[in-house]
Chain A
């Protein structure tokens, strides 16, 4: 009997077509919507895009959100890289403890976390409580923690921490030098993956920013939704674009690294 390559079945085709329609329609719809004129509602003009590009609040909030993302990434890396390194090197018993910490954000979602943060830190100095660079970043590092941890953990598992450390130290390197010159280059892909996840989280985060009343990029997007229907479609597409870039960069790194990156959450 000759082996024939099986063909795609009818039911599989139907599932995939319906899935594709449900997922692509809102993207195509938003694109068409963004080309409509704000005055007449007719197609096609790029007025919405020029409105966005000339909007000061757009650039201002986007810059703020990008700054917050960079700050979150920097703090997360400084905080988690040495910890995960040390746990893999010296105290593997702590690993399950930290891994179970990483599950806690599931039971303490952003809406619960922000209620607690607002309560605990009310009355702390203005430079912390009153600024997004203080309060929001403190919260975003916690939101990024599970994704950072699992990325870094996979990265450290893939390298031989003990041999690298011993080799570095027997050549006379200090701890900081070992960490920055030997360990860090070897887990670069994992650190980058965690950073892109953190970027996607911060750029989309609405809950905490809204309840603590800071004007980040998603807040600007919501305000545009309420006031300017067609330009809002243009900002929405740009926001999707940012998520695409972050997630595809992540997938690209993941492909080279061989791991499968996963979800974030800006619901």
Chain B
């Protein structure tokens, strides 16, 4: 009965479960092969602790900003009055832009907002405003956050648009018939109905940024202390004196994302309640 599904299970065990398991086991192994907690406790010291803080901060900030802006654009595109074609332009573009990421995205921002970028030089030459002199840079934490929004906002838009669509017009009319003003409608109907969807989407965005490697690598040449970049440096920089430390850092990422997942699943269930 199960026979035809066996190749699938063999494959996922070999290339997903065993590697994931080896990260978890390796995180608790010492250089000599024995069991130890020292790799994991090292994560609570510098520079690793700061790397986790920076990673969590970048992911949190871009998830929140991307979430707010994504909801704003989604609502502006969907609400009554906005022409239908504008709505499909924005959703179609988001479908593509959510997939722009990594190396090409980093370079597109360098070509546009970098030191000799098109916008930067235009502002310098024609508006006499030097962005770089005013502290704007793509190559630090704020810069990386600015670029991450390029895939965070469309992702939010894609995930949240169906939920906003599900805010039925009748609810709005019912609320206004009962004398509610727009603020009261959002306070007591709109936001509570949307909240599980929004929180769930924010978690997706957080994980999306937390796991990102290529964009930040390309922008900062791997110098920004983010956990994925630190792990990467272990493998590309020939400094593999203790591979178990890289495994411990990977285990730490897994732990953060696993907590997120545990919050996500019940939220997802609640959000499904109002689906048409």
Contact = CB atoms under 8 A, between A and B. Distances in A.
Interface centre among B104, B217, B260 (most CB of A within 10 A): B104
B117 A29 contact: yes
B101 interface: yes
Interface of B is mostly: helix
Contacts of A243: 96, 99-100, 104
A108 B109 CA distance: 28
Interface of A is mostly: helix
A239 B104 contact: yes
Given A86-B5, A141-B11, A247-B99, A108 B111 contact: no
A186 to B, nearest CB: 18
A116 B22 contact: yes
Contacts of B26: 119
B12 A27 contact: no
Given A33-B112, A33-B117, A225-B218, A110 B213 contact: yes
Interface string B126-155: 000000000000000000000001110111
B95 A247 contact: yes
Interface stretch (A4-12, A51-59, A62-70, A162-170): A4-12
Contacts of A225: 103, 106-107, 110, 218
Given A106-B257, A225-B103, A239-B104, A267 B151 contact: yes
A74 interface: no
A207 B228 contact: yes
Interface string A21-39: 0110111111011100000
A142 B12 contact: yes
Interface in B191-246: 207-215, 217-218, 221, 228, 231-232, 235-236, 243, 246
A210 B232 contact: yes
A209 B110 CA distance: 23
A117 B75 CA distance: 42
Given A16-B90, A111-B250, A142-B15, 14 more contacts: A29-B117, A30-B107, A30-B108, A79-B7, A80-B8, A98-B8, A107-B260, A108-B19, A117-B19, A120-B18, A205-B102, A210-B232, A263-B98, A264-B99
